[in-house]
Amino acid sequence: MIKQKKQGQLIVVSGPSGAGKDTIVGKLIENNSNIWLSVSATSRKPRAGEEEGINYFFLEKEEFEQKIQENYFLEYAEYAGNYYGTPKEKIIEKIEKGIDVVLVIEIQGAKKIKDLVPEAIFIFIMPPSEKELLKRLKNRKTEAKEKIIERFNIAYKEMNEVTKYNYVVVNDELEEAVDKVDSIIKAEKCRVDRIEEMLVANQEEIIHEFLMENDFDNSPMTDKMKEEK
């Protein structure tokens, strides 16, 4: 009776550094073949273990700025002294094929996406506490103390932006957080505004089909049948 739109959904996931958004999205994609993670570009240097085209597309600052001029990005922002941006060509291609696309982006970029694509799903990943957030940042062991303090200060400000999002998920227990994000995406597919058309027959057609398809005896009851009843 209901024909849903075939287009995929655009899902924007943000949260302060150390909240665990990348881990949540990674687990989500492992369990869903119809979700594709858009890989962002950045002008920062790779961290230990990060791979080109897997974690980010790593560009020199001059190259990044050139691509800005070429309108290569759906959105871009500067964060902690580095550029971050979302290449747009693949996103459009995947959504048109009915594949859901996840963007893990900074809050500045998410605001730009909201202006461009207001129907996108915006999910904010929140750490269970500020104390736990600072602990996670320190446990990374990838940055100097000054950089950690800078990221924590930025994170504190970012958490006040949660009201700009549709949903908030607290990442205390990882599997529970993944399940919540998965449930949000599934629920969004049931929204009425994703219905392309309603295939509903009128009342007379329904009654007619019922009478034609159901074989039953509608003859008058005899006196004997009445007595037996």
- What is residue 221's predicted lDDT score, i.e. its pLDDT? 57
pLDDT tens-place string over residues 49-101? 899 998 899 999 999 999 999 999 999 988 878 999 999 998 999 999 999 99
Does residue 99 share a domain with residue 18?
yes
Does residue 115 share a domain with residue 222?
no
User: What span, in angstroms and rounded, lies between the C-alpha atoms of 10 and 117?
Assistant: 8
User: What span, in angstroms and rounded, lies between the C-alpha atoms of 228 and 216?
Assistant: 19
Positions of the chain with pLDDT lower than 70, given as ranges: 1-5, 136, 140-143, 196-229
- Helix residue ranges per DSSP H, the chain: 21-30, 61-69, 89-96, 107-116, 130-140, 145-158, 174-188, 203-213, 223-228
Does residue 158 share a domain with residue 132?
yes
Does residue 221 share a domain with residue 168?
no
- What is residue 227's predicted lDDT score, i.e. its pLDDT? 62
Whole-structure pTM value? 0.74
Does residue 208 share a domain with residue 155?
no
Does residue 208 share a domain with residue 164?
no
Q: Report the domain count for the chain.
A: 2
Cα(first)–Cα(last) distance of the chain, in Å? 40
- CA 14 to chain centroid: 10
- What is residue 29's predicted lDDT score, i.e. its pLDDT? 94
* Mean of per-residue pLDDT scores for the chain: 84
207: containing domain: 199-228
